[in-house]
Amino acid sequence: MALKPVAAYALPAAGELPAARVSWRLQAARAALLVHDMQGYFLAVYQAHAAPLAPMLARLKTVLDRCRLLDIPVFYTAQRGNQDRRDRGLQADWWGPGMQAVPAHEAIVDVLAPAAGDQALAKHRYSAFQRSNLAELLRARGRDQLLITGVYAHLGILATAAEAFQRDIQPFVAADAVADLGRAEHDQALAWIAASCGVPMATAAVLEALQ
């Protein structure tokens, strides 16, 4: 049930991304950024200086910097440690008790630490929209596009993209600024999103769109 170490794998290149079924275009005036679950507990499964984590962090940081430069709203999700079993719900059956209430588990990785003006949301389920006011915060800021980054692609990233779509918020996934528990799961998530609800994009394309 507990998370297991992830073998190093190469992030997908731009030419390997599945084509989305729609022609949506990411726009700075409509977008918000989601930095999803980039906490020590979830990142401990990776080798710190190898792919996917090292290049993924570098690319996510460039996206984060660009969004802050353009005053694009930035949201973070983070779980809390020592969750009550009744609050954790069915996740405990799949993943065990989860993280402890210690900085090594709960803290966002330093290179991506939230800045003044960023919005932090407590995470309770796979989707960032569940038991949070993310949808209301996006609406209040006039944003109907969500650029999703972080971990893990076939779990929270996919679930958040699917729920954004169902709320008429266009989801975009920075495909090489997310990571997963393996390349097969990573590719599976991108393929499902492209076929069903959103647009996978390479970081280079994200930066080009957010001028």
So what's the pLDDT on residue 13? 98
* Phi, psi (rounded to 5 degrees) for 142: 70, 35
Across the range 118-141, mean pLDDT stands at: 94
Number of neighbours of residue 14 by Cβ within 10 angstroms: 13
Residues 6+ apart with CB under 8 A from 121: 75, 76, 77, 78, 128, 132, 133, 134
Q: Which residue in the list 37, 176, 180, 187 is annotated as catalytic?
A: 37
Task: Specify whether 37 is catalytic.
Answer: yes
Domain boundaries, the chain: 26-209
Per-residue pLDDT tens digits for 162-190? 999 999 999 999 999 999 999 999 999 99
* Phi, psi (rounded to 5 degrees) for 53: -65, -50
CATH architecture of the domain with range 26-209: 3-Layer(aba) Sandwich (3.40)
Band of pLDDT at residue 94, cut at 50, 70 and 90: confident
Per-residue pLDDT tens digits for 55-80? 999 999 999 999 999 999 999 999 88
Q: Under a CB-based contact definition with an 8 Å cutoff, are residues 52 and 182 in contact?
A: no
So what's the pLDDT on residue 101? 66
So what's the pLDDT on residue 2? 72
